[in-house]
Amino acid sequence: MRRKDREITDFSKTISIIDACDCCRLGLVDINEAYIVPMNFGYDIIDNQIILYFHCAKEGRKIDLLPGQSVVSFEMDTKHQLVGGKLGCDFTFLFQSVMGTGTLEEVSEKDEKIYGLQRIMAHYTDNSRWEFDERALNMTKILKLSVSTFSCKEH
């Protein structure tokens, strides 16, 4: 990280920033083209490892790209605020962000799909114990990103 003065190294602070984010962008590679897709997400911490969960349709570009992705990237950000100045170059933008890499896999086992959906719902609501319609479960793909590297930054 170029700006070490903005780096967040405290794990609990990183988790609080993840908590504040409402969108996570997945970065995939399509031959020699970057493909970035914004996704709703939920997360869990297992043995100090961040696990991100996403839901999506069973078909589409990201699903087609999954088999060729050994590592994917992710990025999320929050707390955006423009700070003005007298000159254009005096302006700055405040933010918090988390980005990193990991391995992305499809969750196929029913109980783990439900768990992933509950983590997503818990991220956006005050409830972590939701029930899901069987038809919706069958039509929904759950993706699990096991984070291997990440950095966190605040300005």
Burial of 27 (0-12, 13-18, 19+ CB in 10 A): middle
Q: Answer yes or no: is pLDDT of 92 > 90.
A: no
> 42 CB contacts (<8 Å, ≥6 apart)?
52, 53, 116, 117, 118, 119, 120, 121, 122, 123, 124
pLDDT, tens only, 31-72 = 889 999 999 999 999 999 999 999 999 999 999 999 989 899
Q: What is the pTM of this model?
A: 0.91
CB 55 within 8 A of CB 40: yes
Q: Are 76 and 97 in contact (CB under 8 A)?
A: yes
What whole-number percentage of the chain has pLDDT above 90?
71
